[in-house]
Amino acid sequence: LLGPALAEPGAVVVDCTLGLGGHSEALLRTFPAARLVALDRDKEALRLAGERLAPFGERATLAHAVYDELPDVLDRLGVPRVQGVLFDLG
């Protein structure tokens, strides 16, 4: 369902539960025009995911935050809207 929106240049997708970054990596590989903003409360998970997502360079922005802080994170980054949000609650 998100495919058409994320295929557009400048599309932003948010991963609110980054973990080790597997879902985010798949999104970045599948949608080469998309930018990722990813949140996690676990600093070690952010470090490991950062290593995994390093090949994507500036397309991936990681933030130490919990998902209810998403509006503040987007505001700090100057992101006015997003095309998709992922929560892996399982």
Q: Which residue has the tokens 């996690």?
A: 40
Cβ of 87: how many Cβ atoms within 10 Å? Answer: 11
Question: Strand 12-15 to strand 84-86: parallel, antiparallel, or no bridges (unpaired)?
Answer: parallel
Least confident of 4-8, 40-44, 70-74: 4-8
CATH code of residue 39: 3.40.50.150
> How many separate domains does the chain show?
1
Domain that holds residue 29: 3-86
**How many angstroms separate the CA atoms of 60 and 54, rounded?**
8
pLDDT by residue (tens digit) across 15-52? 999 999 999 999 999 999 999 999 999 999 999 999 99
Listed in sequence order, the DSSP H helices in 7-69 are 22-30, 43-53
